[in-house]
Amino acid sequence: MRAFADITEALSALAVEVPSWAYGNSGTRFKVFGSPGTPRTVEEKVADAATVHRFTGLAPSVALHIPWDLVDDFGALRRNAEDLGVRIGTINSNTFQDDDYKLGALTHTDPKIRQKAIDHHFECIDVMHATGSRDLKIWLAEGTNYPGQGDLRARQDRLHEGLSTIYDRLADDQRLVLEYKFFEPAFYHTDVPDWGTSYVQVAALGERAMVCLDTGHHAPGTNIEFIVAQLLRLGKLGSFDFNSRFYADDDLIVGAADPYQLYRILVEVVRGGGYGPGSDVALMLDQCHNIEKKIPGQIRSVLNVQEMLARALLLDREALAAAQEEGDVLLANEIFMDAFYTDVRADLAHWREERGLPGDPMRAYVGSGHQERIEDERVGGTQAGWG
Ligand code: LRH
Ligand code: MN
Ligand code: MN
């Protein structure tokens, strides 16, 4: 195994983008629990993201969701974020909460509805210009509930047409990332259900169109690290939405349900050049904190990514390659597991302290009184949008 001293440099490249909606109240379709201290404005969500960055040094940007995060002056929001030490990151479109989109948005049979969905994406691109964002992330809730309800193939054609129109509107330094999900809210078929469909659609657009992999969007048992390897090999992995799940799209804290899976994914990210200088894979979180406090929930999340990344970087790749070449199955597996079983927490605490950060960001946050302060100050926080 490599020594921790060998990876300290590489660790510095970690930047995890946090989602604005993680700071809002959220829940299931059964109940949304309100929690004290929840942001009342977009500015307060950005401030919470900046707090996570201040305590961890790991979260320099925050993703917005439109229209959840609509403000009058995005230039001012950008300046406000920068004053707090963070950037506005990915802009997420939303075509899943409007009655007009009940039977589809970009895939709808009615050209007027399709145009409305395209116009929404144009509005998101305007936001990107004002905020300096690079990525437009598109997740579509489109699909059908009953066999025969829609023409599966014609819907793909309409999807291509809509995505092309949106893609053509982007500036040369902007990207489109298309997120897939195997089911929900549609239950019979989904128009972008898997990485293959997302790949086919973005490959038809051009170089700046990429796939977004949300770790909660696969059938149970799917080998996600294989998808990571394949997309990196094809040069089409644009971004991650990290979270963890036990059952469906649970949006729990990344690394909470299955830290070993997160390790395996990050091993492939590092292996495939998806991490560090020269890589433009965006590592985002897409999570909700339904019952736990939100800022510490996000702090825990970015720390989990850092811990598993450290273990992935510790993997002795040369020794592993040699064992693989030799066909030594058990040795190869042992080398792979050795790095996973390494407890890096004390080394990481030291690493943080050397960089002027709290060694234990969770305890530092709890001890800072910040949570009590925002709970006193903020009354009547907003819902994350799912409501
Ligand atoms: C859909 C999704 C997508 C949305 C977000 C709120 O399940 O993962 O990324 O934008 O949740
Ligand atoms: Mn997602
Ligand atoms: Mn999701």
* pLDDT one-digit tens code per residue, 281-320: 999 999 999 999 999 999 999 999 999 999 999 999 999 9
Residue 100 C-beta-side C-alpha neighbours within 13 Å: 14
* pLDDT one-digit tens code per residue, 183-216: 999 999 999 999 999 999 999 999 999 999 999 9
What is the DSSP code (8-state) at residue 206? -
Spatial separation of the C-alpha atoms in residues 247 and 262, rounded to whole Å: 16
Residue 378 lies in a domain: no
Token pair 């969007």 is found at: 217
CB 263 within 8 A of CB 312: yes
For the Cβ of 139 lying below 6 angstroms from any atom of ligand 1, the answer is: yes
Residue 345 lies in a domain: no
Q: Choose among 115, 209, 105: nearest CA to 167.
A: 209
DSSP β-bridge partners for residue 51: none
For the Cβ of 179 lying below 6 angstroms from any atom of ligand 1, the answer is: yes
Q: Is the pLDDT of residue 12 over 60?
A: yes
Find the domain containing 18 and state its range: 13-314
Residue 90 C-beta-side C-alpha neighbours within 13 Å: 32
Q: Is the pLDDT of residue 86 over 90?
A: yes
Q: Is the pLDDT of residue 96 over 80?
A: yes
Nearest CA to ligand 1 atom 6: 286
Tell me, what amino acid is at 75? G
Q: Is the pLDDT of residue 116 over 90?
A: yes
H-state helical runs in the chain: 8-11, 42-56, 74-83, 111-131, 152-169, 195-203, 224-233, 259-271, 294-314, 317-326, 329-340, 345-354, 361-368, 370-377
Token pair 């390790």 is found at: 263
Total domain count, the chain: 1
Residue 71 lies in a domain: yes
Residue 381 confidence class, pLDDT cut points 50, 70, 90: confident
Q: What is the CATH number of the domain that holds 86?
A: 3.20.20.150
Residue 110 C-beta-side C-alpha neighbours within 13 Å: 10
Q: Please report the pLDDT score of residue 33 as a whole number.
A: 93
Q: Please report the pLDDT score of residue 1 as a whole number.
A: 84
Q: What share of the chain is helix, strand, coil (3-state, %, to 5)?
A: 45, 15, 40
Compute the distance from residue 291 Cα to the ligand 2 centre, in Å: 19
Closest ligand (CA of 20) = 1
> What is the pairing mode between strands 143-144 and 189-190?
antiparallel
Containing 144, the helix (H) or strand (E) segment is strand 143-144
Q: Please report the pLDDT score of residue 387 as a whole number.
A: 45
Complex confidence, ipTM: 0.99
Residue 136 lies in a domain: yes
Residue 351 lies in a domain: no
Q: Is the pLDDT of residue 115 over 80?
A: yes
In testing the pocket of ligand 1, which one of 286, 287, 288 has its CB within 8 Å of the most ligand atoms? 286
* pLDDT one-digit tens code per residue, 332-373: 999 999 999 999 999 999 999 999 999 999 999 999 999 999
Residue 304 lies in a domain: yes
Residue 386 confidence class, pLDDT cut points 50, 70, 90: low
In testing the pocket of ligand 1, which one of 25, 138, 179, 252 has its CB within 8 Å of the most ligand atoms? 179
- pTM score over 0.90: yes
Compute the distance from residue 355 Cα to the ligand 2 centre, in Å: 32
Ligand 1 atom nearest to CA at 141: 1
Cα(first)–Cα(last) distance of the chain, in Å? 47
- What values do phi and psi take at 378, rounded to 5? -100, 120
- Angle of the 361-368 helix axis to the 370-377 helix axis, nearest 10: 50
Token pair 């001293």 is found at: 5
For the Cβ of 135 lying below 6 angstroms from any atom of ligand 1, the answer is: no
Work out the average pLDDT over 42-65.
Answer: 98
CB atoms within 10 A of CB 179: 21
* pLDDT one-digit tens code per residue, 128-149: 999 999 999 999 999 999 999 9
Residue 376 lies in a domain: no
Residue 359 lies in a domain: no
For the Cβ of 181 lying below 6 angstroms from any atom of ligand 1, the answer is: yes
CB 183 within 8 A of CB 141: no
* pLDDT one-digit tens code per residue, 269-288: 999 999 999 999 999 999 99
